[in-house]
Amino acid sequence: MKTNRIRTLWLAGFCLLFTTALNAQDTNINPADSTGLPGDNFSLEGAIELFKKAKSPEDFEKLLNSEDNNVNNLDLNEDGEIDYIRVIDNMDGDAHAIILQVPVNEKESQDIAVIEIEKQQDDYAILQIIGDPDVFGDEVIAEPFEEEAGDKGRGPAVHLKPYRIVVNVMVWPSVRYIYRPGYVVYVSPWRWHYYPTWWSPWRPRPWRTFYVGVRPYHRHCHVVTTHRVVRAHTVYTPRRTHSTVVRTRTTTVKTQRATGTTVGKRTTTTTVRNNGNGRATTQKTTTTRAAEGKNGRAVGTQTTTTKATRTGNNGATTAKSTTTTKAAKGKNGRAVGTQTTTTKATRTGRNGTTTAKRTTTTKAAKGQNGRAAGTKTTKTTVRKKRGG
């Protein structure tokens, strides 16, 4: 009995520790890391790791479209299901441009990324993956890396950070496969509405959940700004494919982010309470925060609270709506203005009386001397009696 009790306590403590670790990991995620672009839902680093693990381009395609690998969370046509990614190799001598592409509809396809590989010596090859601008907003280049000690054998290097070196990918099974004699260039046979029998689409995960799953892929891959694989990039450029639907959507998001008109976050909470005396109260609160503008400041925050109460005895209905809008901070860091609008409408069933009350308070920004530039309050009351 005592042994079982100790075991139970130990398991409970372990579960608590595990849950705490997961929560701590989740709180480290910055929502601002999500750009709102399709590329948020595909891991370039993860694709590199899967290509390293794959035995061939065909095997790589299967790994990309496996839910368990948590690399693909794309839904470009917004049908509520994950898109199938097909792999297309383009070869010119020792240069390979392996395209990762999604059929968006019957007529259009969209390149997600391209893996560019060059053989520089018989036993040495380099690799980079480039995310398509129509998916990631800008061209994003990632590559695998290895770390070496910072001292290079010149004494203790306890305080020196290791430096990252370019990886020789010639030892990867998939790379050796495409450079073997007699290799037949792989082109995926699958297209829109024609997919392998082993594949079944799943529903996209929320971004925060997906991001937690892809972070381990960042350990051995990083984003860079230099094109190292020049010849393979030349092979790919004239073959690049884009979808008008995806390009238009990405352009719209980029424009909205640049002007600060994108709605960054919208939260709605609805509460219903029965008070037991025939009174039912429903309260709905919606908070909308706009995206950051060019100066990195929030363009505005609007909070709307709607409260409706109905009493069964006299049939009275009361509705109250409060809207608070806060404008962005100016260059001096002070709020440009705050406006609060309160609207209250009451209708009583017995005498037919209707009362509407609206109060608007506008506070201007503080001036350079720290004093409020102005405050304006307007009140409007309307009463109407049935038959009056």
Query: CA triplet 138, 141, 142: central angle to 5 degrees?
Result: 140
Domain boundary among 236, 258, 280: 258
Same domain, 203 and 110: yes
* Token pair listed for 265: 């976050």
Confidence grade of residue 257 (pLDDT, cut at 50, 70, 90): confident
Same domain, 139 and 225: yes
Each residue's pLDDT tens digit, 85-141: 999 999 999 999 999 999 999 999 999 999 999 999 889 999 999 999 999 999 999
Distance, in Å, from the CA atom of 52 to the CA atom of 46, rounded to the nearest integer, reads 10
Same domain, 225 and 181: yes
The whole-number pLDDT of residue 147 equals 64
The whole-number pLDDT of residue 123 equals 92
Beta bridge partners of 221: 144
Query: CA triplet 43, 216, 161: central angle to 5 degrees?
Result: 110
pLDDT above 90: residue 240: yes
Same domain, 94 and 209: yes
Same domain, 219 and 347: no
Whether residue 12 lies inside any domain: the answer is no
Residues 115 and 131: beta-carbon distance below 8 Å: no
Whether residue 212 lies inside any domain: the answer is yes
Q: What percent of the chain has pLDDT over 90?
A: 44
Same domain, 70 and 167: yes
Find where tokens 């010849």 sit: 231
The whole-number pLDDT of residue 212 equals 85
Residues in the chain: 388
Confidence grade of residue 296 (pLDDT, cut at 50, 70, 90): very low
The whole-chain average pLDDT of the chain stands at: 74
Same domain, 187 and 91: yes
Residues 260 and 277: beta-carbon distance below 8 Å: no
Each residue's pLDDT tens digit, 31-60: 446 788 999 999 999 999 999 999 999 999
Q: Which domain holds residue 310?
A: 263-384
277: DSSP letter = S
Closest CA to 169 of 140, 131, 129, 132: 129
Whether residue 21 lies inside any domain: the answer is no
Measured CA distances, 167 to 48, 104, 172, 174, 297 (Å): 12, 34, 10, 15, 40
* Token pair listed for 211: 């991001």
Whether residue 10 lies inside any domain: the answer is no
CA torsion sign, 83 to 84 to 85 to 86?
A: negative
Each residue's pLDDT tens digit, 151-210: 555 555 555 566 677 889 999 999 999 999 999 999 999 999 999 999 999 999 988 888
**Count of domains forming the chain:** 2
Domain boundary among 258, 280, 298: 258
Whether residue 291 lies inside any domain: the answer is yes
Measured CA distances, 300 to 30, 235, 263, 380 (Å): 20, 46, 9, 26
Closest CA to 220 of 157, 121, 87, 129: 129
Helix (H, G, I), strand (E, B) or coil at 244: helix
Whether residue 205 lies inside any domain: the answer is yes
Q: What percent of the chain has pLDDT over 70?
A: 54
Distance, in Å, from the CA atom of 201 to the CA atom of 192, rounded to the nearest integer, reads 13
Residues 310 and 317: beta-carbon distance below 8 Å: yes
Same domain, 168 and 218: yes
The whole-number pLDDT of residue 102 equals 98
Domain boundary among 242, 258, 274: 258
Same domain, 193 and 321: no
Distance, in Å, from the CA atom of 38 to the CA atom of 52, rounded to the nearest integer, reads 24
Same domain, 326 and 227: no
Confidence grade of residue 10 (pLDDT, cut at 50, 70, 90): low
Same domain, 318 and 237: no
Whether residue 13 lies inside any domain: the answer is no
Confidence grade of residue 274 (pLDDT, cut at 50, 70, 90): low
Whether residue 9 lies inside any domain: the answer is no
Same domain, 181 and 292: no
